[in-house]
Amino acid sequence: MKINGYTKITGIFGDPIGHTLSPAMHNAAFNALGLNAVYVPFHVKSNLPGELKAAVESIRALGLLGVNVTIPHKEKVLKYLDEIEPHAMDLGAVNTIVNKDGKLIGYNTDGAGYLLSLRDETGFKAGRKRAVIIGAGGAARSIVYSILAAKPVSVVIANRTLRRAEALARSFARKFDSTDIIAAPLDKDSLFEHFVKADLVVNTTSTGMMGKGELDLPLGALPARAVVSDIVYRPLRTGLIKNAEKLGLKTHGGLGMLVRQGAIGFELWTGKKAPVKVMEAAALKALRIR
């Protein structure tokens, strides 16, 4: 990689940021396409007042192509942007900022990236299907929104704190009134009736990350056609994925979502089609090194 006076800069804002795989996959993509650009991590501390605002203003001041935004800045960053595309506005969260001739525009590519990965890796399409989502946090919100946009028959949101699941269901009820949106407790017995009819189960929580913890779900109740998906990618095969495989169910891991949401951002910044396979290989290599 050669850096000179014409090199364009992209990156990621987060706190912490040392764990991110994004530099590996984006720099591999720039290299593959012969683009004079670089992607770097920026540690934007959440405990320093004014730091996020200053960081966002630097995108314009320094002429960056744009940045990704990760925890804990996805919601707070909205007020510092010039424009927010409707999908991100509905979610109340931005994970990608594009600098368009000095105008900072916020996007959210998480849900779209998830569905692209799910389709490409398993062939699953959410239209007229029944989905069960485990969790009610930011990742769940993005994924639920994108699944609902595909017009499924029903979406069940199961969470340990039921009121959070209920709040998430209510927030989408009016916009997606043709789909049954159901809140449920994260309880094996309560979930049984939903699993019996489910086409897709998605874990959007951090349970299973680094091999810690395991969800107690009635996987045996799922129909043979069902897909079990886990957005956790450390490890690549979580306990949930392994248990589903033992039952002969089709599975979907979390690395593809990371790659696909990044690929959408790459295309927004560069106007070029992202080399998805190159990005995936680079992310996988970086993950294995760590």
Q: Tokens representing 279?
A: 């990005």
d(CA 212, CA 214): 7
Q: Tokens representing 285?
A: 């290599």
- Same domain for 99 and 149, yes or no, is no
User: Is residue 194 a contact partner of residue 223, using CB atoms and an 8 Å limit?
Assistant: no
Determine the residue type at 81: L
Considering its fold, how many domains does the chain have in total? 2
- Same domain for 246 and 137, yes or no, is yes
The pLDDT value recorded for residue 290 is 67
Catalytic residue among 2, 8, 53, 74: 74
d(CA 283, CA 36): 20
- Same domain for 192 and 71, yes or no, is no
Tell me, yes or no, whether 3 lies in a domain.
Answer: no
Q: Kindly report the CA angle at 9 between 52 and 143, in degrees rounded to 5? A: 60
Our answer to whether residue 188 is catalytic in this structure is no
H-helix segments, 82-177: 86-91, 110-122, 138-149, 162-173
- Encode the chain (290 residues) as per-residue pLDDT tens digits: 789 999 999 999 999 999 999 999 999 999 999 999 999 999 999 999 899 999 999 999 999 999 999 999 999 999 999 999 999 999 999 999 999 999 999 999 999 999 999 999 999 999 999 999 999 999 999 999 999 999 999 999 999 999 999 999 999 999 999 999 999 999 999 999 999 999 999 999 998 888 788 899 999 999 999 999 999 999 999 999 999 999 999 999 999 999 999 999 999 999 999 999 999 999 999 998 76
Tell me, yes or no, whether 266 lies in a domain.
Answer: yes
| pTM for this entry | 0.94
d(CA 251, CA 237): 10
User: Which stretches does DSSP call E strand in 141-242?
Assistant: 154-159, 180-185, 200-203, 227-230
- Same domain for 25 and 97, yes or no, is yes
- Same domain for 153 and 220, yes or no, is yes
In 3-state terms, what secondary structure has residue 13?
A: strand
Strand partners, 84: 106
Tell me, yes or no, whether 142 lies in a domain.
Answer: yes
Q: Tokens representing 126?
A: 């959410």
Domain residues for the domain of 14 are 8-108+256-289
Q: Is residue 250 exposed (0-12), middle (13-18) or buried (19+ Cβ within 10 Å)?
A: middle
Domain at 81, CATH number: 3.40.50.10860
User: Is residue 65 a contact partner of residue 268, using CB atoms and an 8 Å limit?
Assistant: no
